[in-house]
Amino acid sequence: MCTDIDNYTSVPAMTVGGPPGDYIIRCSIPSSEYAEFSIVSIAVVGNNSAVIQSSGLDRPRTLDTSGSSIYNDTTFIRSQVIQCPANNSIPIGDSFYDRIANERGDVFIRIDGAVAAFVTVKMRVRKLTKIPAPFVTVHPENKEQYNYERERRIQEAVLGQEGELEVYGTRPGRKGQVRTLATGEPPVEYTSTQRGTSKHRGQ
């Protein structure tokens, strides 16, 4: 992952844990280009070692540590796996960041084996460098503009994928547009006016 810290906003470290089971941490900054997480330390309490799984995609499944299971390209585990000895702690650091790839911004942690274990996670988000354009809406009471906007979006979603012929006019200002399909009907020309956009059949 990229290590250019100037393009990221870091989130203070958070720790989850307890008895064996599943735990979730959610990124606290929802608006970003993308988010990443890193396991920075693990602490195990009790006489049993712990197997820790972490994933930015979905909840990890139980890992078979008996040696009888084989994990390969068709049965691989979508998580990082770390083992920590009993009554010990492991400082891992934040040199490796993994992508948070689910829409909620959750990091999934699974603890197996130990009496209790605690996992410290750091997150960072990529700063937005492109601001989305404002979404254009038309009030339903304005029937003419409402129907035009609806028709325009249907054309962009449907006609734009069917290979229609687009011919642009020579009028100043906003360009007129002619769209024709192989239907036998005359083309429809859209013309911009001061009152909005009107259309008429071509000859």
CATH 2.60.120.340 domain residues, the chain: 5-126
Contact 55, 121 (CB under 8 A): no
Residue type at 106 in one-letter notation:
D
Residues 6+ apart with CB under 8 A from 35: 27, 29, 99, 100, 105, 123, 124, 125, 126
User: Is 5-126 a CATH 1.10.760.10 domain?
Assistant: no
Rounded Cα–Cα distance for residues 171 and 194 (Å): 14
Task: Going residue by residue through the chain, which has 203 residues, state the pLDDT in tens, using 9 for 90 and above.
Answer: 455 777 899 999 999 999 999 999 999 887 778 899 999 999 999 999 999 999 999 999 888 888 888 998 888 888 999 999 999 999 998 888 999 999 889 999 999 999 999 999 999 998 877 766 666 666 667 777 777 777 777 777 666 544 444 444 444 444 444 444 445 555 555 555 555 545 555 55
Enumerate the β-bridge partners of residue 9: 125
d(CA 129, CA 149): 29
Instruction: Write down the pTM of the prediction.
Output: 0.61
